[in-house]
Amino acid sequence: MIKENPQTNSYITPSKLREDIYNILDSVIETGEVVEVKRKGQIIKIVPPQKAKKLDKLIQHKNVVEGDSEDLVSMDWSEAWKPSI
């Protein structure tokens, strides 16, 4: 959403921060990216306590196999499997 770029010195204004503060804060938390606000010639950084890890963004899925997939290969499915041919 909001991306600061040190090469271009792009910052958001306090007015933009005030206008969209909740979305900006959520973006910092979710992406781990720093947002810089320029006020009276000074730069204020909004920084998350630690960068978000990619694996932390994974969504848990229901009805999936947890564990070693090799265990499925050696299972005896003959009683449970009923072909409908």
Q: How confident is the model at residue 65, as a pLDDT?
A: 76
Residue 40 DSSP symbol? T
pTM higher than 0.95 for the full model? no
Residues in the chain with pLDDT values less than 70: 1-10, 51-52, 85
Task: Give the chain's largest Cα–Cα span.
Answer: 77
Q: How confident is the model at residue 8, as a pLDDT?
A: 44
- Whole-Å CA distances, 46 to 50, 67, 73: 12, 39, 50
- For the chain, the structural domain boundaries read 14-73
| Contact in structure between 37 and 11 (CB atoms under 8 Å) | yes
Q: Which of 22, 19, 16 is nearest to 37 (CA)?
A: 16
